[in-house]
């Protein structure tokens, strides 16, 4: 299957490189005049068809890519991103080990740190490594339909593919950790069991009690996206897992509530004694709020970093104001920035945004969704 996008021409790479190098020198006071660096990049491109970012360029590029992420509401903290430079690694074993170390470092005992680990880039003579898994931590889904799946229905196809490849499966619970699937350079994709010590999980309970703990619900602390490509100035890093911290609605309004995920709203409504005979009783809305209360309460009680959608909405507008003062326009996708519950009660709802493209960004390359489902893995 196709892993890479259509390759850019040298002229296209140079155009993106020049834009980024000028940006880097403009935003880093100690970088000086960019002309010498631009000449060196142009000569390297002419000689090899690519160029190598300096460590400082890599750090700034990864942070700017976060700053440019139109679908991310949490960009106020873009300049705090920790960058782990692992560009020398192309082998699946080494990459998997570093991904698990990434999780340990990012978890930070519950005080989650925004982190990215950057592996080898694409070059004209070879592809870069690829992480097939959508996130570094995913739960198995056993079954082929949301109504009968045990676990995360979204991951049922990948789970089935891994079982066919020889993975023995977990304990058959709704929260079995899936292996990480990594494809090294000139290698087939391989799976690696996720070490338990690399994943901090939060048991989900409700602030009003009522036996919620008996359900055995939990969620992992670090949302580390792993199947997007980091693009900086014309250079593509197809394996560059990164994380911020969760906003509560990602877990309570999507992961645990979506009908094609854990579909918990009917069970929550029954637990609350709500009338589910008609949508007009707003039982889904009431159950959704209580499920989100449970997530925020549980993460707070466990001492694990999490944001609520009201606070994060205000912070996003602070980010926009700060960027505009610096003369930088902020792009955003309204459908992603507005939270999935209580949208009109947040300030981000009541304005429009422009979805601005950028040459320095995190992007989905062709086939990413298919790989995350394990398609063609067997």
Q: Which residues are catalytic?
A: 72, 75, 245, 250
CA dist., res. 235 & res. 15, Å (int): 11
How far apart are the C-alpha atoms of 181 and 167, rounded to whole Å?
A: 11
The DSSP secondary structure of 310-326, one letter per residue, reads HHHHHHHHHHHHHHHHT
Cα gap 258→273, rounded to integer Å: 20
Q: Report the C-alpha gap between 55 and 134 in whole angstroms.
A: 27
Least Cα distance to 39 among 64, 61, 22, 56 occurs for 22
The angle subtended at Cα 19 by Cα 21 and Cα 87, nearest 5°, is 50
DSSP 126-146: BPPPEE-SSBSS-B-EESSST
Contacts of 367 (CB under 8 A, 6+ apart): 1, 2, 3
**294 Cβ neighbours under 8 A, 6+ residues apart:** 204, 205, 206, 207, 212, 217, 252
Residue whose tokens read 């609350």: 272
Report the chain's C-alpha Rg in angstroms: 22
Three-point CA angle 174, 179, 184, nearest 5°: 155
Identify the burial level of 354 via C-beta atoms within 10 angstroms of its C-beta, where 0-12 means exposed, 13-18 middle and 19 or more buried. exposed
Termini Cα distance of the chain: 12
Q: How far apart are CA 117 and CA 214, in angstroms?
A: 37
Nearest Cα to Cα of residue 133 among 116, 158, 156: 158
Buried b (16+ CB within 10 A) or exposed e, 224-238: bbbbbbbbbbbbbbb
Closest CA to 126 of 238, 257, 260: 238
């Amino acid at each position: 299957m196709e892993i890479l996008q259509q390759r850019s021409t040298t002229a296209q790479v140079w155009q993106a490189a020049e834009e980024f190098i000028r940006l880097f020198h403009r935003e880093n006071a100690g970088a000086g005049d960019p002309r010498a660096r631009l000449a060196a990049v142009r000569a390297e491109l002419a000689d090899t068809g690519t160029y190598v970012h300096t460590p400082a360029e890599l750090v700034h590029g990864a942070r700017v890519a976060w700053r440019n992420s139109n679908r991310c509401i949490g960009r106020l903290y873009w300049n705090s991103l920790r960058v782990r430079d692992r560009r020398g690694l192309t082998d699946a074993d080494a990459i998997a080990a570093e991904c698990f170390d990434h999780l340990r470092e990012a978890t930070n005992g519950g005080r989650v740190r925004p982190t990215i680990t950057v592996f080898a880039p694409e070059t004209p003579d070879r592809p870069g490594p690829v992480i097939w898994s959508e996130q570094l931590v995913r739960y198995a889904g056993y079954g082929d339909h949301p109504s009968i799946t045990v676990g995360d229905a979204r991951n049922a196809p990948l789970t089935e593919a891994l079982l066919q490849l020889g993975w023995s499966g977990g304990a058959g619970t709704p929260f079995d950790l899936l292996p990480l699937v990594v494809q090294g350079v000139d290698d087939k994709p391989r799976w690696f069991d996720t070490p338990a010590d690399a994943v901090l999980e939060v048991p989900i309970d409700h602030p009003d009690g009522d036996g919620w703990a008996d359900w055995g619900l939990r969620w992992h602390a670090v949302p580390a996206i792993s199947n997007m490509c980091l693009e900086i100035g014309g250079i593509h890093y197809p394996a560059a897992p990164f994380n911020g911290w969760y906003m509560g609605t990602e877990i309570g309004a999507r992961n645990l509530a979506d009908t094609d995920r854990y579909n918990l709203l009917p069970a929550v409504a029954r637990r609350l004694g709500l009338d589910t005979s008609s949508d007009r009783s707003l039982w889904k809305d009431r159950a959704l709020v209580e499920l989100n209360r449970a997530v925020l309460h549980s993460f707070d009680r466990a001492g694990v970093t999490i944001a609520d959608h009201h606070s994060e909405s205000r912070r996003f507008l602070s980010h926009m104001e700060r960027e505009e003062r610096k003369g930088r326009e902020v792009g955003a996708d309204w459908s992603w920035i507005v939270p999935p519950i209580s949208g009109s009660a947040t300030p981000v709802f009541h304005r429009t945004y422009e979805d601005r493209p950028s040459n320095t960004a995190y992007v989905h390359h062709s086939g990413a969704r298919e790989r995350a489902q394990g398609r063609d893995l067997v």
